[in-house]
Amino acid sequence: MSSQKLTLWGSKAWANDLLSYVIRSLKGECFKACWDIRVQFALIVKADLLENGFFWQAARVDNWIHRIEKQHKAAEFSPAVLPPPSVSSPPPSRRSQ
């Protein structure tokens, strides 16, 4: 006999399991995809949770979406990613003689 637990579709346990899966997916632990695809998946699941009346779980999905977007944007613009500033000498000063 399998040790997996059985959750019924539309139950509170189902919603919590789905929330857990979405969080792991947003972290990149369930399937390989770029971050915007993972966010799209989370938005689809969020709509399903809302449709079934699981507002708290849908709100947590929203929290994680914003967290992942914030991390992605911070990494996108981190100094390690940006090219180093060009070093140039200052323009010569003009002195009137």
Per-residue pLDDT of the chain (97 residues; tens, 9 = 90+): 445 665 667 788 889 999 999 999 999 888 888 888 899 999 999 999 999 999 999 999 999 999 988 877 766 655 555 555 565 555 666 665 5
Domain residue ranges in the chain: 31-77
Phi, psi at 51, each rounded to 5°: -60, -30
Distance from C-alpha of 6 to C-alpha of 8, rounded to nearest angstrom: 7
Assess contact for 25 and 40: CB atoms under 8 A: no
Q: Which residues contact 50 (CB under 8 A, 6 or more apart)?
A: 58
Predicted structure pTM score: 0.66
